[in-house]
Amino acid sequence: MSGKNLLLTEEQRELAEMAAQIVNTELAPRVADLDRTGEFPMDVMEILRNSGFYGMGIPEQYGGLGFDNTTQMAIYEEIARVDAGFSFNFALASGEFGILEDAGASEELKKYYADKILSGSVCSFCLTESQAGSDASNISTTAVREGDEYVINGTKCFITNGALADLFMVFAYTDKSKGAKGISLFLAEKEDGVKIGKTEDKMGLKLSVTSEVIFDDVRVPASRLIGQEGRGFIYAMHALEKARITSMIHALGIAEHAMDIALDYAKVRVTFGKPIIKHQGLAFLLADMQKRVDAARAMLYYSAAVLDRGLAVGTLSPSTKIFVSETAMSVTTDAVQVLGGYGYMKEYPVEKLMRDAKVFSIFEGTNQINLMVSSGILEHMK
C-alpha cells in the first residue's frame, strides 16, 4: 500500500476499513465495465447508505452521525482508491448540510433537508453555467418573488449528480442591479418542475454523473430560501473554500491507487535479468511518486484538522487544491510510464486513473484561478 494516515483514531480506521470492504466487494469488480458505460451504481450507494455512511456529516441532532471532516475524508479516501468518480458523487450527494449551517438557515429547513437526505434523497450544487464557471458572479439564472414563492429560470451546466438528484441547491439572482450581492440561494426539488438536460460524456471520472439542469418557471416556496436574500454568493464562496480541501481526498485516492499499481508492477516486471525496481532510473521515479503522495496526504489531513477546529484556512484552501490535484495528475502520468506499453492499454487501470485525475485541476476553480485566490489572500495578509 502507498501509505495511510497514521494519526487516525482506532474508530476512524475501523470506519474506513468497513467502507473499504464494502466497495472492494461490491464496486471494484465492476469498475472497468462501469467506466465504459458511464452507469452509476445506485445499488452500491444504497448499501453504503444502509451501513450508515450516507449523510454522515449531518449533526446528530438532525439524525446524522455528526462525523467531522477528518473522519469523513478517511472514509472517502478508501472509497476513492476503488473509484474516485463514485466517491465524489457519493460525497456530494449528501454532503451539503454545512451550507445550511453557514447560511443560518431556519431550523425547519435544516430538519427538512436532513430528513430528505437521510431517507435517501440525492442533492446537487447548482452554481456553474455556460458563461459562469470561474466567474461565478456572471450567472444569468433568476429568481423572482411572487407572493409566497420564488419563480426560478435558468440553466446550469456541469452539475455533479444533476441527473440523479431529488434536491437542488440553486444559486440565482434576486436583484441583478446589485451584482454579486444580488445572488440568493434556494433549495429546489425535482417535483417542483426541475428538468434535466444532457448528461455529459466526459474524458474521465465516468462514474461521476455530470448533467445540465434546467429551471423553467420552477416555483419554490419562499420558506426554501436558504439564509438571506443577496447572500448567496458569500455562501458559495464559503462552500468552495471548504470544498477545495475536502474534494481533493478523491484525487488522493486516485494517486494512491496509481502508486500501488506502479509499485506492484515494478516488483514483478523483469528486464535485463532483474525487476525494474532494481534499476535506479525507475526506483528514483517511484520514490519521487511516493514522496508526492505522502506530502499530499499530510497536507490534506492537516487542512482538514484546521477546518475541524473552526480556524481560518487562508491560503491552505487554494494551496491544498492545487498541490493535491497536481500530485494526482503527475503520479498517474508517471504510473503509466512505469507500466510502459501496458500502461497505455485499457486492459490496465492506470490509463483510467490518469483520465480521472485531470478534472481535479479544473473544478472547484481551476488551478490558475486558485493561484489568483491565494495571491489575493497574500496581498491582504498581515
In the DSSP assignment, the letter for residue 200 is P
Question: Would you call 111 helix, strand, or coil by DSSP?
Answer: helix
Q: Which cell goes with 172?
A: 440565482
Backbone angles phi, psi at 160, to 5 degrees: -65, 130
Q: Which cell goes with 99?
A: 451550507
Residue 364 falls in the annotated catalytic set: yes
Euclidean distance between CA atoms 13 and 8, whole angstroms: 6
Euclidean distance between CA atoms 339 and 285, whole angstroms: 12
Q: Which cell goes with 158?
A: 456541469
* Beta partners for residue 214, in sequence order: 155, 195
Catalytic hit among 78, 96, 351, 364? 364
9 dihedral zone (left: phi>0; alpha: psi -120 to 50; beta): beta
Q: Which residues contact 362 (CB under 8 A, 6 or more apart)?
A: none
* Beta partners for residue 275, in sequence order: 270
Euclidean distance between CA atoms 354 and 255, whole angstroms: 9
**Which residues are catalytically annotated?**
364
